Structure 1
Amino acid sequence: MSDSIITKIDDMGGRINELEQSINDLRAEMGVEGTPPPPSKSGDEPKAPADST
């Protein structure tokens, strides 16, 4: 039974890797590879550092 679970986890890991690669390929096609992700809607957006001048 544990071999079956390990096999399923390995399969899921492979599928996740393929999905990540597909997402990266799509982002590269759209030309947004170097842009940050959109801000989250949860309200914990990063604050810009204060100007030191």
Structure 2
Amino acid sequence: MDAKDSGDGKQNTADMTQFVQNLLTQMQTRFQTMSDSIVSKIDEMGERISELEQSINDLRAEMGAEGTQPPPSPSKKDGSAA
């Protein structure tokens, strides 16, 4: 009986080892997929930020070209004309 119990124990240990290895492999694959997805989204966000910065700079340049004229003087039409 001891030989049979010893064989079952070794088989259970081998099965558990295989199960844990498979589980770790699956987890590693999932983490790698998530990591790749996060990096991709960060890269995409960086590109969008760059486009936004360029749009802001273009708007500033436009406003600078239009703003070469002096700004209009504030009017004194607030009822103080006596």
**Which TM-score tier does this pair reach, normalised by the shorter chain?**
0.5 to 0.7
Richer in helix (by share): 2
Identity across matched positions, percent: 81
Q: TM-score, normalised by structure 1?
A: 0.58
Q: TM-score, normalised by structure 2?
A: 0.38
Gaps of 5+ in 2: 1-33, 66-82
- Check if 1:12 corresponds to 2:45: yes
The higher relative CO (CA closer than 8 Å, separation ≥ 6) is in 1
- Check if 1:23 corresponds to 2:56: yes
Equivalent pairs counted in the alignment come to 32
Gaps of 5+ in 1: 33-53
Instruction: Point out the structure with max Rg over C-alpha.
Output: 2
CA RMSD, aligned part only? 1.2
